[in-house]
Amino acid sequence: MQSKHGGRGKPLREPTRWRITVLSDHFQAILQQLTDQSLRRSLSPLESATGPIVTYAGRPVILLSSNDYLGLATHPDVVQAAVKATERYGAGSGASRLVSGTLPPHANLEAALARFKRADASLVFGAGYLANIGVIPNLIGRGDLILADRLCHASLIDGCRLSQADFRLFRHGDCAHLETLLRRRTSTRRTLIITEGLFSMDGDLAPLADLVELAERYDAMLYVDDAHGTGIMGATGRGTIEQFGLEGRIPFHMGTLSKALGSYGAYVVGSNDFVQYLLNVARSFIFTTAIPPAITAAASAAITVVEREPERRDRLWANRQHLFNGLQNQGFRLTPTVSPILPVLIGDAAKASAFADRLLAHGVYATAIRPPTVPDGTSRVRFTVTATHTTDQLDEALQAVTLAGRETGLL
Ligand SMILES: *Cc1c(COP(=O)(O)O)cnc(C)c1O
C-alpha cells in the first residue's frame, strides 16, 4: 500500500478508475468481514441533546451509555459559559496555541485546572487522544521500555507505538506480574509504566498505591490516564489520585474534559518545567488548532460546578448503587466494577449486539462494546449511569434489561 498510494519514489501507474474500483472492493470486503463477525460499527444519531432521556428513531429512550456522569454537558452554567465565550471570543480560536490561538479562556482554564488538580501547571490538549499520543513519545523512546496495563485505552497504546520504545503489557491490575517484568529488565533501562486510573471498559480502579510504590522502587516513571476518574472519584472529585491519597507522589498525569466535565479536550498537569517542555515538543499540541473558546470556557465552568455542587456526585453514587444492585439481583455477570461504569459481561460479540438491540426495542439505549475495544471473548453491554437519572427511570430500565436478558438467553 505504502509505495503504491503515494509512497516515495514509485509513481502511480494505474489509471484512477481502476484504483477506485479496487479500493471500493477492498472497503466492501472489510465491511462484510466485520458484519460476519458481528463487529461492524455504525453511527446511531440521536435527535436530542444528551441526557438521561434522549430521542432516538423518533421516540424517547433511557440513555445508559454516556460518560457525562454529572450531567454537566447540559448544565445551564456550563452552557451559558460556552455561549458567552462564543459571543465574546468567536467560534474558533484562529490558530495553534503557539501561533495566535491562546485566548483568555485558554489561560483561565489552565489556571483553573492547575488549582483544581493541586499542580504547579497544566496544559490543555485538543482531546485525550491527542494528549496521550503527544505526551508518551516525549517521555520515552527507542531502546526504552514501556510496561502498560493490558486494558489500557487505544490512545495510550497508539502513544506507545509512536514512541518506538519496546512495549509489554502486564496483566490487568496485576502488580506481581508488573514487578516480574520490572525485575527482568536491565536496571539502567529507562522505563515508563502506564495505567488508567479508573478503567473505562471494566469500571475498576488501578492499584495505584502499589503502582506508585513499584515505580519508586524500580526507578520507573508512571503515567496515569484519569479520563474517567476526573470529576467523580475522590472526596472532592479531583480524581482517582485524590481517591488514593496520592497527590504529591505522582509528578504528572492526564485526564479529559470530555467525560464528567461535560465538555471536550484534555489536560496534562505537572511541574512548570514539564508543561513548558511539552508545549515545545508535543507534536499533537504544536501542530493543531487551539480548542474553541466555547468548549474551553465550558470546561472551566464545569470545574466550578464540580466544586460547588458535591450533591451531584452523591446522586451519581446513589444511582450507581441502585443500578448495580438491580443488575446483580437479576443475576447478570458484571466486571469487578467499583464505579458508575457497569459492564454486563457476555463474551460473544453477536450475543452482546443482540442484547443491545433488544434493550433498544424496550426503550433503553446501551452500547455493545466489542473487540478491538475490549479483548476477544469479553464483549459486553456497558451501562453507565449518571447523576441526572431518576430512580423511576432506573427501575424502568431494569425492567427492560430483564426482558432483553430473557429474550437473548442471558437470564
Ligand atoms: C475517552 C478516553 C480517552 C480519549 O479522550 P478523548 O478526549 O475522548 O479523546 C483517553 N483515555 C481514556 C482512558 C479514555 O477513556
What pLDDT digit, counting tens, does each position of 292-318 carry? 999 999 999 999 999 999 999 999 999
Ligand 1 atom with the smallest distance to the CA of 130 is: 9
CATH class of 38-67+310-407: alpha beta
Asked if 133 and 158 count as a contact pair (C-beta separation under 8 A), the reply is yes
> 22: pLDDT confidence band, cut at 50, 70 and 90?
confident
Proportion of the chain above pLDDT 90, given as a percent: 93
Nearest to 268 by CA among 371, 126, 162: 126
Answer yes or no: CATH 3.40.640.10 is held by domain 74-308: yes
| Ligand 1: centre distance to CA 157 (Å) | 12
Q: Does the pLDDT of residue 24 top 90, yes or no?
A: no
C-alpha cell at 79: 452552557
> 98: pLDDT confidence band, cut at 50, 70 and 90?
very high
pLDDT in tens, 105-114: 999 999 999 9
pLDDT at 360: 98
Indicate if 74-308 has the same CATH topology as 38-67+310-407. no
| 267 torsion bin: left (phi>0), alpha (psi -120 to 50), beta (else) | beta
pLDDT at 6: 38
| Ligand 1: centre distance to CA 410 (Å) | 30
> 13: pLDDT confidence band, cut at 50, 70 and 90?
low
| Ligand 1: centre distance to CA 125 (Å) | 12
Is the sign of the CA dihedral 256, 257, 263, 265 positive or negative?
negative
C-alpha cell at 244: 488514593
State the average pLDDT over residues 326-330: 97
How many Å apart are CA 118 and CA 396, to the nearest integer? 41
pLDDT in tens, 256-279: 999 999 999 999 999 999 999 999
Residue nearest to atom 6 of ligand 1 (CA): 128
Query: Across all residues in the chain, what is the average pLDDT?
Result: 95
Q: Does the pLDDT of residue 378 top 90, yes or no?
A: yes
Lining ligand 1 with CB less than 6 A are 127-129, 132, 153, 155, 196, 200, 225, 227-228, 256, 258, 266
State the average pLDDT over residues 225-251: 97
> 3: pLDDT confidence band, cut at 50, 70 and 90?
very low
Ligand 1 atom with the smallest distance to the CA of 226 is: 13
Domain ranges of the chain: 38-67+310-407, 74-308
Residues designated as active site: 200, 228, 259
Q: Which pTM value belongs to this model?
A: 0.94
